[in-house]
Chains A and B, each alone.
Chain A
Amino acid sequence: MDAESFTALALRVISREATDDERRTLETELASAPARREEFEQLKLTHEILRVTSPMTQATQAITPGLPAYRANELRTAVRQYFGPAASRGKNPTPFGEWMPAMRWLFAGSGVAALGFAVVLLCFANRSVEIGLYGTDLMRGGDKTLSAADVPTARLVTFDKDAPFDQWQNQPLAWNEHAKIWVDNEHDLLYIVRRVRHGAVVTETQPLAPTNEGQREQIKQVVDALKN
């Protein structure tokens, strides 16, 4: 059997196209010429490799069919499941690129810290209480009148003239001020201007105690109440 006839016969057997007679002929040929066994194996291997891989190489050139529209959502769902919600994925790269997560963490942390610090500052700051009074009252009352030692948590603000005292009374509470107190001797009232919830400011009055000593105790109690 010549080489070409042998190869053609071998290929028919390999590709399952051979008849029983052809199979027997090939078996006889392989038995009588052992060198052809290797040739047969090589042809079989070539056929197997190409049979598997050539359809794959052809697939690289495929341009049809198009993706069925009704399968698109299925694929989008897979993308969302894998990458997470779309909102967390930037379409355009940011100037900070891969540093963004760290930047976000840093700024988010700093933001929270700054906010917390501001709240704490506000909490402490708005506890300040001012007590306005005439300087002459302090001197006249002697040891029975109010002194800084009586109200260590408050600040005494003294005035020598009516105008600045009136101005102090009428001006709104400063951002860091919780309350201010003053004595209205003309009307025998103790004025208390203080912050309440949500930053609202209220003005209250109490009948003034008749004695200097009583007034001192009254103011001390009001200051203590405001601090608490």
Chain B
Amino acid sequence: MSYLELQDLHRNFGTVKALNGINISLGEGEFLSMLGPSGCGKTTALRLVAGFDRPDEGRIVVNGKDVTGVAPNKRDMGMVFQAYSLFPNMNARQNVEFGLKIRGKHKGDGRGRVDDLLELVGLSHAVDRYPHQLSGGMQQRVALARALAIEPRVLLLDEPLSALDAKVRVQLREEIRRIQLELGITTLYVTHDQEEALAISDHVAVMYGGVIEQMGTPAEMYTAPATAFVAEFIGTMNRLDSKVLNGETGEVEHAGLHLRVDAARGRRNGERVLVLIRPESLELEAATNGTQPNSFAGEVLTQTFLGPVTRLKVSGSGTSLIADMSTARAAALPVGSSVVAKIPSEGAKLISLPDDGPGLPVLDPDDQ
């Protein structure tokens, strides 16, 4: 039974279609992230749910009730903004207390609740401090406590960590998830950081150009991207623009290379497809004299040290691939060495491409 539903939402700004038919369904206590580059419509959708904007078409339903026409101050939702949302003339405690004060519940039990929440977000020691005396991370904790104080039905977060330092971001996202699980509150989260979305969500909806490209669990999004955009946006992926040679055996051809891919079975011959292989599923070995099935030979072009993992770029046979392996093993394959990359026939995924289409969408590097 879904608790929060976005039904066929449309929103246009002039000629721009910011939202073009968004459908999302959240169960109670679920955490869903709307993930995508800037301009994809995720914040627009969130603001529609919060009530700061009205959809041109579609409905928003909470626990069976249509709230599309309800004013934002009556929707009983808690929102955490990206930055600057704490009232500067009030200290942390007074900020958290605000929603209760409006409802006349800040005396007695209310006071205890405020203290509990501040403790929950780890700020008991700073309750009397004013926003300008708090760091960015602390401010967002106060903002979270403030949104939770009113016991909202739905928690909305609009890129709450984007303005913070990297380390604080990782720390705080874990805490947000922990608190959310503890309180069991239905949560809608907006972010452009795919690592963040994958790390803490029950479900992820990848958005682009006002539509949802794919929605599913983080694992699904990662291992089985449904569209070229999702494949590109989530994690790093090797993409081989290929043609199906034999739909029965699963043989495909890419830049002269013949590969066997299980996922190609059942496709029609001549179909243009995109073969997707995660860098960590490529097996790299030093080249030997014989040839190996389902592999391609090349030379290590670059090595990029990423900590526990090293990323190797291998180039050969008119194509280049990225392979991730443990740093220890990568030491044995220095730049310039000849290697053989084995492509796992089960590990590769396939997406259809239009036969004469433009190919892969070009993503603005600034979007990620």
Co-complex (A, B): no
